[in-house]
Structure 1
Amino acid sequence: MSLEQTEAVATREAAPLKLALQPINATLSLRDQAYAMLRQAIADADIYQSREEIRLDERVLSESLGVSRTPVREAMTLLEQEGFLRMVPRRGIYIVRKSKREIVEMIQMWAALESMAARLATIHATDEEIARLRHMFDDFRDSTPAEHIAEYSDANIAFHQAIVELSRSQVILDTIKNIFVHVRAIRRMTISQSDRASRSIVDHLRIIEALEKRDTELAEKLVRQHSLDLAAYVEKNCDFLD
């Protein structure tokens, strides 16, 4: 098969994904901005919506960002090193999706890190910061989360990210950031299944109460179990990841 035929077959196998991108500010580092925007766009994309491989088009990315291909290539090299992209010679660039086993292990790692973050939050977070966690769910007081699943999904993800940030631990933040992209995608996908949204908000309010009381042991325990329950759910129900 000729090179042209091989490329044609690869193109038919996986159409390029068009990420939501905006032109970047050329007064700052082009590579760093391209990296930040591409990473965020990948985090926002529903990368587990199907089994098809997700291919990116370097030319389209360059045009969307309003820069040459050089900073885009440099940014993609960084993203490949971090495990977000996979570059296949003569075929293209693909977003990396994890297997079910990898996702479960990532969630288990998240459980360990976020539970420690909750422990530290009981020590370092202010009353006002903890109060803001409760306000994240104000819109769902008079209705069930399932009635506003997209909005609740966003609040759910923001809640977990906020707990990590309240730890004041830069090491935890740096360690968890790459895990977050995949765990976030799975949280978004599974929150609407098996009434998990309603159970989730109950868990969240119990966690907030523990943080408000500065109950270090309970906050750590509740946060860890909340994520381990997600890991168990993925293990049992998410065969589509394989």
Structure 2
Amino acid sequence: MSAQSQTEVQDVTQPPAGLTLALQPINAGASLRDQAYAMLRQAIADADIYQSREEVRLDERVLSEALGVSRTPIREAMTLLEQEGFLRTVPRRGIYIMRKTKREIVEMIQVWAALESMAARLATQNATDEEIGKLRHMFDSFRDGTPAEHIEEYSDANIVFHQSIVQLSKSQVIMDQIKNIFVHVRAIRKMTISQSDRASRSIVDHLRIIEALEHRDTELAERLVRQHSLDLAEYVEKNCDFLD
């Protein structure tokens, strides 16, 4: 690795500005490996891994201290995460959080569009009126202003909205297939929601999707959800050169 590329690599103890992994000591009882895996996976999902071009290296010692366990379950958990595509090993350098290229992100969003649109279709058939009604209440706090005025809160609501559509499908296969894609798509949604007035356009799309679900309009709900994500893929393709 060149001297320049070495300077672009950051240790988890010195992350890019604002990037931290939120970790707490795990409890004894259940498998330490499984608990370490779950906490590391969630911490990676919650981190803004695309806010900087710099890579984040995970330090076993730091993770061991943060989680309050030995390095063995940490190594086992990281092996599982590497197999799932969340981490990558660089020989003689260490283990890094996996970042995708722009092309890979676009393709992942396209796959997300296919899975989430099918989830919306199934939601019109499987979700109760009460479950669908909860989607509308997610945006109650944004009725008196624009999403851009509360962008952090809206960004969180946006992520929960898309998760909820998948859950309302009540298809375990879709939920299992989409969970690994979600980490990267979530990070990109969070980064781009504040750009080019996307938040205001997003809430309009969301309300149309909710209406289609409420009316049990299967074809419309599926089409609106698919197009909503494909619009994000197109935006990333045209505007997110920082991913390369």
Question: What TM-score do the two structures reach when normalised by structure 1?
Answer: 0.95
Within the candidate set 131, 144, 147, 2:146 is matched to 144
How many angstroms does 1:14 deviate by? 2.1
Within the candidate set 104, 116, 134, 1:102 is matched to 104
Is contact 1:10-1:91 (8 Å) kept?
Answer: no
Given the superposition, is the C-alpha separation of residues 103 and 11 from structure 1 closer, same or farther in structure 2, using an over 3 Å criterion? Answer: closer
How many angstroms does 1:87 deviate by? 1.2
Q: Are 1:213 and 2:208 counterparts?
A: no
**Mapped partners of 1:26, 1:89: distance in 2:** 32
Which residue pairs with 1:158 in the alignment?
A: 160
Within the candidate set 7, 14, 19, 2:9 is matched to 14
Greater mean alpha carbon deviation, residues 48-57 or residues 102-111: 48-57
Which residue pairs with 1:38 in the alignment?
A: 40
- Secondary structure of the residue aligned to 1:48 is coil
1:91-142 superposed Cα distances (whole Å, 9 cap, x missing partner): 1110010000000000000000000000000000000100100000011000
Runs (5+) with no aligned partner, structure 2: 13-19
Runs (5+) with no aligned partner, structure 1: 1-5
- Secondary structure of the residue aligned to 1:87 is strand
How many angstroms does 1:228 deviate by? 0.2
Is contact 2:37-2:80 (8 Å) kept?
Answer: yes
Given the superposition, is the C-alpha separation of residues 128 and 94 from structure 1 closer, same or farther in structure 2, using an over 3 Å criterion? Answer: same
Greater mean alpha carbon deviation, residues 33-42 or residues 85-94: 85-94
Amino acid in the other structure paired with 1:14: V
Mapping of residues 118-197 of structure 1, within 5 Å: 118-197=120-199
How many angstroms does 1:19 deviate by? 1.4
Amino acid in the other structure paired with 2:110: Q
Which residue pairs with 1:79 in the alignment?
A: 81
Given the superposition, is the C-alpha separation of residues 216 and 55 from structure 1 closer, same or farther in structure 2, using an over 3 Å criterion? Answer: same
Given the superposition, is the C-alpha separation of residues 232 and 9 from structure 1 closer, same or farther in structure 2, using an over 3 Å criterion? Answer: closer
Q: How many residues align?
A: 236
**Mapped partners of 2:8, 2:92: distance in 1:** 14
- Structure 1's consecutive aligned runs of 4 or more residues displaced over 4 angstroms after TM superposition are 8-13
**Mapped partners of 1:232, 1:9: distance in 2:** 32
Amino acid in the other structure paired with 1:212: E
Question: What TM-score do the two structures reach when normalised by structure 2?
Answer: 0.94
